[in-house]
Amino acid sequence: MSRTPLSIAEVEAACDALDALPDAELATNAAARAVELLAMGEDVVAAWIAARGAEPTNAEVEGFRLLALHRQGAKGVPSFNACRETCRELVYHHNLVAGDPVAPESAQRLRMATMITRHLALFIGGKLVVEGLGDFCCSSRPIRQADVAAPEAMEN
Partner 1 sequence: MEKDLKKVAYYPGCALEGTGYAYNKSTKAVAKELGLGLVELKNWNCCGAMEVKNIDPKIQTYLSARNLSIAEDMGFDTVMAPCNGCYHNLKKAEYDLTHDDKSVEVNTRLSNKAGHKTYEAGKVETIHALDWLKRAVGDEEISRRVKKSLKGIKVANYYGCMYTRPRHIFPEKDQGPGSESSSNPHFMDDILAAAGAENVSFPLKTACCGGAHTLSDSDTSTKLVLNILTAAEAAGADVIATECPTCHTGLEMHQVRAEKEFGKKTNVKILQFTQLLGLALGLSSRKVGAHENFSDARDFIKEKGLG
Site residues (CB under 8 A) for partner 1?
19, 78, 81-86, 88-89, 92-93, 108, 111-112, 115-116, 118-119, 122-123, 125-126, 129-130, 133-143, 146, 148-151, 154-155
Cα(6)–Cα(9) distance, integer angstroms: 8
Between 39 and 128, name the residue whose CB sits nearer to partner 1: 128
Phi, psi of 61 (to 5 degrees): -120, 130
Between 1 and 148, name the residue whose CB sits nearer to partner 1: 148
DSSP H or E segment with residue 36: helix 30-51
Least distance CB 101 / partner 1 (angstroms): 19
Least distance CB 132 / partner 1 (angstroms): 9
Between 53 and 132, name the residue whose CB sits nearer to partner 1: 132
CA angle 61, 3, 34 (to 5 degrees): 60
Phi, psi of 40 (to 5 degrees): -65, -40
Between 16 and 60, name the residue whose CB sits nearer to partner 1: 16
Cα(111)–Cα(74) distance, integer angstroms: 27
